[in-house]
Amino acid sequence: MMAQSLEGIRVLVTGSAGFIGFHLSELLLSSGAHLLGFDAYTDYYDVRLKRDRSSRLRGYSNYSEVEGKLEDAALLNQAARDFQPQVIVHLAAQAGVRYSLENPRAYVDTNIVGTFNIMEVAREHAVSHLLMASTSSVYGANTEMPFDEGQKTDHPLTIYAATKKANEVMAHSYAHIYQLPTTLFRFFTVYGPWGRPDMALFKFTKGILEGEPIDVYNEGEMYRDFTFVTDLVRAIALLIPVAPSESNRKSVDTLSAVAPHRVVNIGNSNTVKLTDFIEAIEQALSKKALLKLLPMQTGDVPATWADASLLSALTGYAPKTDYKTGVQAFVHWYRDYYQV
């Protein structure tokens, strides 16, 4: 069903060399879509990893790429005019909780200015669907679990979360003014092969293999809704044909009353304790971790848990990969990629 609905469609993917963007691009390309990747290859983490992801994408004849920053409106506009996208999936962003404390301006530049430029491109080309990444971090100080899309998200705890909340409301204004069908998806702790070096699974695996202590915040009393990356990108691909409109309104929905705008959680709908996650890594590596127990990190939250019932209602699909299976897949990739 997915391959048929995406065959021949022209999709612009921002952040195509990133962790999630790479996996989504591979899925769309293998489904027959024509894809333009747009990525800045910033040095927030090892650029070689980004280059290696892109080299795999270049093996597809239906793939082309432009290197540049989203803040460069002229370059972005020219790339879009040359490609003429029908759909845009905007994944590029400055991510990371800790880095947002060190360099908040990077988040405003990329996540606010860059996203505005993408919305302008979507408006100019009247795309059939603009899909944009948000984050579970927008739930901020909320404590009612599981998180559902109808909850207020007015108390972000980091500038990263604040910029993503801003993206959601910016997108609503464009959806209303220009009748631009727009879906925002909130990601929940995505992990898997080709993951980012700043993410917990990558850092834990590296530390355990090298015999170095790993930082465990809140002394391990942390719970996360871990979402395997291949499940996540399948959900995104299935949402592409489901552009928000009154014709696909559900009984429980976030579809705006005044705009073709919707917010959708993408998560595994399950919580895993951080220490159990670490134990799964130890089992996959056949090596014990040295734990450095630390207090809660500024801007972090003790738990996340997605209510993904809207995703299921819209697509008939729900992420389901067990975290132990996902961890094993990552460890297999890590050992192969780094030859350890």
pLDDT, tens only, 93-143: 998 777 888 899 999 999 999 999 999 999 999 999 999 999 999 999 898
pLDDT for 136:
96
Give the chain's domain count: 1
Percent of the chain clearing pLDDT 70 (strictly above): 99
pLDDT for 70:
97
Cβ(276)–Cβ(41) under 8 Å?
Answer: no
pLDDT at 144 over 60: yes
| 129-135 β-sheet, strand order | 63-67, 34-39, 10-14, 87-90, 129-135, 182-187, 261-266
Distance CA 255, CA 245 (A): 8
Residue 300 lies in a domain: no
Mean pLDDT on 235-252:
96
Q: Could you write out the DSSP letters of every residue in 4-41?
A: HHHTT-EEEEETTTSHHHHHHHHHHHHTT-EEEEEE--
Mean pLDDT on 151-164:
94
Residue 143 lies in a domain: yes
| Residues forming a β-bridge with 216 | 293
Helix (H, G, I), strand (E, B) or coil at 135: strand
Residue 160 lies in a domain: yes
The number of helix segments (H) and strand segments (E) in the chain equals 13, 13
Helix (H, G, I), strand (E, B) or coil at 51: helix
pLDDT for 5:
78
Residue 96 lies in a domain: yes
Q: Which domain holds residue 124?
A: 2-189+228-268+306-320
Residue 221 lies in a domain: no
Q: What is the pTM of this model?
A: 0.96
Which residues participate in catalysis according to the annotation?
160
Residue 75 lies in a domain: yes
Residue 301 lies in a domain: no
> Dihedral, CA atoms, 165, 166, 167, 171, nearest 10 degrees?
110
pLDDT at 251 over 80: yes
Distance CA 216, CA 203 (A): 11
CATH code of the domain in which 25 resides: 3.40.50.720
pLDDT for 2:
56
Distance CA 121, CA 77 (A): 6
Rg of the chain on CA atoms, in Å: 19
pLDDT for 3:
45
Mean pLDDT on 2-6:
64
> How would residue 157 be classed by pLDDT, with cut points 50, 70 and 90?
very high
The burial class, CB within 10 Å (0-12 / 13-18 / 19+), for 149 is buried
Residue 45 lies in a domain: yes
Cβ(175)–Cβ(181) under 8 Å?
Answer: yes
Report which residue type is found at 228. F
pLDDT for 1:
42
Cβ(209)–Cβ(287) under 8 Å?
Answer: yes
Distance CA 337, CA 340 (A): 8
